[in-house]
Amino acid sequence: MLSEWLDWTLDEQRDAPRQGTFASGHFEITAPGVLRLTPYRQRPDAHACIFSAAIHGNETAPVELIGAWLSELEAGTLTLGAPVLVILGNIPALKAQQRFIHTNLNRLFERGITSSGDEPARARQLMAKVDDFFSDNAALPKLHYDLHTAIRASLFSRFVVEPYADGDTDHEQWQWLAAADMQAVLHQHQHSWTFSHYSKHYHGAQSFTFELGRVAPFGQNDMASLTPMLALLGRLSEGTAPAQSDINAITFFRVQHELMRHGDDFTLSFDDDTPNFTRFTPGACLANDSQNGEYRVGDSPLHVVFPNANVEIGARAALLVAPCAPPTDD
Ligand SMILES: [Zn+2]
């Protein structure tokens, strides 16, 4: 039943049950693509967990990962011990196998946004679902893992973006991420209205955007590389302590600059297939913008992440990042 929820969502099956039970808890579909799981017995270490996927519709590996985790719950090989809100973000884009239909959903998670259209309406609905879930579980520590895959190849194939907001990330999170085989972490340097930022900024949740490999169609994802990530989701949903590893296995970066597109004519000065985290030396030209002219690397080298010359005018065309020391446990 649970594992069929993904198919119901994609097929828009109106006659699918709205709620029901499984071995260790009950489920409720509170909106299209929004599934709430409540354990019969909540464990003392439980977090209020949000696992979201398909905020970008063509990023299917996280959907398969959620499917594998739901199958374990359904089979009873995993016992739910924490409340979990599962979200499939952009269902029309997921069906169309596109990143988005009209605009990038992952820039719209800001209270009071006034824009109209399908994606802004969905962002408002999802923000309300997050608010309800965290307020109904106010006694528990809050956690939100927003699962993505990257458009391009990467020198670190699995990495995490830590949103910028008040509040520190718990040190144990880095140890969990190391055990889940995340290879790099990128600290954001300013507010950015992503879904993971929403939960951290407005709710103080432990929250990240995960990049779990490269975009591929359903059935063509490298799921074996995500086994440790599946184990992390499993432990969190059980409400038991996740595995920990040495955080020195992770390379940490901090965002130094956001390269924005301002002009009608905008080009990046490197090949389209340049992998994420590629390093550029001082003086290297990175972009040409009909409004802002050339952008060149300053005195210290920069690594390029998420380059995309085809973004809307006024949107981010790349993050420029530099290595930094791992966080200390204080
Ligand atoms: Zn994405």
**Three-class DSSP labels, the chain:** CHHHHHHHHHHCCCCCCCEEEECCEEEEEEECCEEEEEECCCCCCCCEEEEEECCCCCCCHHHHHHHHHHHHHHHCCCCCCCCEEEEECCHHHHHHCCCCCCCCHHHCCCCCCCCCCHHHHHHHHHHHHHHHHHHHCCCCCEEEEEEEEECCCECCCEEEEECCCCCCCCHHHHHHHHHCCCCEEEECCCCCCCHHHHHHHHHCCEEEEEEEEECCCCCCCCHHHHHHHHHHHHHHHHCCCCCCCCHHHCEEEEEEEEEECCCCCEEECCCCCCCECEEECCCCEEEEECCCEEEECCCCCEEEECCCCCCCCCCEEEEEEEEECCCCCC
Taking domain 256-324, whether its CATH number is 1.10.10.60 is answered by no
- 212 CA to centre of ligand 1 in angstroms: 10
Domain spans in the chain, listed from the N-terminal domain onward:
2-249, 256-324
Say what the pLDDT of residue 3 is. 77
Say what the pLDDT of residue 7 is. 85
- 45 CA to centre of ligand 1 in angstroms: 30
The pLDDT confidence band at residue 8, using thresholds 50, 70 and 90, is confident
- 42 CA to centre of ligand 1 in angstroms: 31
The pLDDT confidence band at residue 16, using thresholds 50, 70 and 90, is confident
Q: What are the tens digits of pLDDT across the range 305-324? A: 999 988 889 988 999 999 99
- 308 CA to centre of ligand 1 in angstroms: 13
Could you list the active site residues? 211
- 214 CA to centre of ligand 1 in angstroms: 10
- 148 CA to centre of ligand 1 in angstroms: 4
- 62 CA to centre of ligand 1 in angstroms: 10
- 43 CA to centre of ligand 1 in angstroms: 32
Average pLDDT over every residue of 205-229:
93
Say what the pLDDT of residue 233 is. 98
Say what the pLDDT of residue 84 is. 98
Taking domain 2-249, whether its CATH number is 3.40.710.10 is answered by no
Q: Is the pLDDT of residue 182 over 90?
A: yes
Say what the pLDDT of residue 311 is. 87
